[in-house]
Structure 1
Amino acid sequence: MFSAFKRSIPQISIFHNPSLPPSTKALDMLRAALSSPFPPVSASNSPLKFNLEVIESAPTADQIRTILDYLPRVRDVDDPHHVAALISSHPSSPSLPDRPHSPEGLVRLAQKTPLALKWPIVVDWTNGRASAGNSEGVGDVLEYLRKRRDGEAKEEEDYQPKGWFS
């Protein structure tokens, strides 16, 4: 009956490095989706609604744990905190044996060598989706929001209370 109370505006964060073109492109895509019709091919579409937070620093260790759960990839079953998905191939990145193996290690690496991190990292905290290092993943996050807006994405099962009045 009151399902509208459960709907919330998605919270999107972009961990942004303004000196990198992919990060700037991703931020431009997010801002355009907020202010212009989405998708832009039809002027009859409305802009997407989400709260955008721009963070010009690396995520914290706790945020990294959550982001790793949200990334669409096959996880290494032996290492549930595998952080390789967030390490870039930039020459300043450590070689394979020297790479960090924990979120805390990744935070230390990002503080010491910011280009070792895949920028941008875009996270939809509300819907549990993330993208790291490319604008295509940002497009996937935005497309999911469009599907939710247009009713094409399956909504989570409505809460059905058990008790006297059900």
Structure 2
Amino acid sequence: MAFFRNLFKESGVRDVITIFHAPASSVSIRAHTILKQAAANAQSTATIDQAGEHGKESKTERTDFDLEVHEGPPTPDQLGSILEYLGPSKAGSVVKDATGASDAMRKFNKDAKVFQSPVIVDWNRGRAVVGDDESEILKLLRTPKDA
């Protein structure tokens, strides 16, 4: 599926990485900072790569993403995708006290305040990370879905 997404992807269109961010949370602030630094580094790497030889770093660094910051919960459809990307065992880390994906959706539809930020989502590659684990966030940014 990723092959077809990339095959038909418009030239110059960048992937979108979204963080569902809670500015009052230190964990969310840390995750947001990691993403901003990665986006800035990717942009400077792209500029350097365009001017010179493509080194080893350019193959592992992702240079084609835009960072979106949402200071509220996702839509129900977005939450459904996030739960699918994470797998059923992680539902409780995204929706407070959820025991699975259907329980998470039920609780979320009743009260969106049960959503727990931060959640970082790579919509194009179908991946998500919960929390501020720097290695997991960077892995989400660098690793192709098919790897």
TM over 0.5: yes
- Greater helix share, structure number: 2
Q: How far did residue 154 of structure 1 move?
A: 5.3
Q: Indicate whether 1:142 and 2:147 are aligned.
A: no
Maintained 8 Å contact 1:70/1:129: yes
Match of 1:26 in 2: 31
Q: How many residue pairs get matched?
A: 124
Secondary structure of the residue that 1:130 maps to in structure 2?
Answer: strand
Question: Matches of 2:115 and 2:131 in 1, distance apart?
Answer: 8
Q: What TM-score do the two structures reach when normalised by structure 1?
A: 0.59
1:118 and 2:121 matched: no
Q: Which structure carries more relative contact order (alpha carbon 8 Å, separation 6+)?
A: 2
Say which one has the larger Rg. 1
Structure 1 residue corresponding to 2:9, chosen from 6, 9, 27: 6
User: Counterparts of 1:108 and 1:139 in 2: how far apart (Å)?
Assistant: 33
Question: What root-mean-square deviation, in Å, do the aligned CA atoms of Structure 1 and Structure 2 show?
Answer: 3.4
* Aligned residues of 2:16 and 2:124 also touching (Cα < 8 A): yes
Cα deviation 1:40-72 (Å, max 9, x = unaligned) = 9xx98567320111000011111111001111x
Question: Normalising by structure 2, what TM-score?
Answer: 0.65
Structure 1: 5+ residue stretches without partners: 77-81, 89-93, 156-166
Match of residue 78 from structure 2 = 63
Alignment match, 2:52: none
Cα displacement (A) at 1:125: 0.4
* Structure 1 residue identity aligned to 2:140: V
- Going from structure 1 to structure 2, the CA distance change for 1:5 and 1:101 (only over 3 Å counts) comes to closer
Q: Which stretches of structure 1, 4 residues or longer, exceed 2 Å deviation after superposition?
A: 3-8, 43-49, 82-85, 107-111, 133-137
Residue matched to 2:92? 84
The one-character-per-residue Cα deviations of 1:85-120 (angstroms, maximum 9, x if unpaired) are: 4134xxxxx6x79xx824252144333xxxx43310
Contact 2:122 2:128 in 1 (8 A): yes
